Amino acid sequence: MTATESFAEQLKKATWSDHEDAEHTAFLEALMGGRVSREGYAEMVAQHYFAYVALEEAGRALADDPVAGPFVSPELERLPALEADLEELYGKDWRDKITPSKPTLTYVARINQIADWPGGFIAHHYTRYLGDLSGGQVIRKVAERTYQFGAAAGVRFYLFPGIPDLKAFKVDYRDRLNALNPDEVEARRIIGETVLAYQLNTEVIVEIGKRLPEYLVA
């Protein structure tokens, strides 16, 4: 960490190796290669759902907070899209067919644990939503091609109709991060929590990957 780096740059630099590790899990590599079945993709969407229930509940509670509030953007909310995707993937009784994995429960517990710490919420918010706006868009294109989804069915999670320019939104988001201007102690805490958030996300995907043999398609 140097004095010349913006806070957004510090976050990106500190989490780059974790980002790379997440991309190279066996499950995601198979998914990006079009070798994961629809059932395997559905399992990933299901695990996302439980994390976003916790994350967006924390966001609603912090909407008026002077630190966290600027990051709580209605156009980012993923739960309605996730619910629509899960109905497409599992049917109308999807709630009875999905369960959180142990790593997902750990991840959700951590989000709940830091829900009253604005900096911690921002760490998890950054990890998930900036990922959805970036690498998530690549996953969307692969899923559309692999599963032949029509009319956005199955990939609504990756669509942000309220954000006309994703690149501009990400620039604005990083400006919000820089505007935090945390002192060194708080900056290190937020960066540490962001690293942890990446690791927890990766563990969720690794757990799904343990079932990869049954999810692979020829």
**Cα dihedral sign, 185-187-188-194:** positive
Dihedral (Cα; 52, 57, 63, 64), 10-degree rounding: -160
Phi and psi torsions of 217, nearest 5°: -115, 155
> What is the band of 193 on the pLDDT scale with cuts at 50, 70, 90?
very high
Residue 202 lies in a domain: yes
Mean pLDDT of 89-112: 98
pLDDT digits (tens, 9 = 90+) for 131-166: 999 999 999 999 999 999 977 889 999 999 999 999
pLDDT in the model for residue 19 = 72
Cβ(200)–Cβ(110) below 8 Å? yes
* Coil, strand or helix at 33: coil
Percentage of the chain beyond pLDDT 90 is 89
Bridge partners of 216, per DSSP, are: 36
- Please tell me the predicted confidence (pLDDT) of residue 146: 95
| Position 54 in a domain | yes
Q: How far apart are the first and last CA of the chain?
A: 46
Q: Domain total for the chain?
A: 1
Q: Looking at the domain assignment, is residue 197 inside a domain? A: yes
- Domain membership of residue 4 (yes or no) is no
User: Residue 94 is part of a domain; what is its CATH number?
Assistant: 1.20.910.10
2, pLDDT greater than 70: no
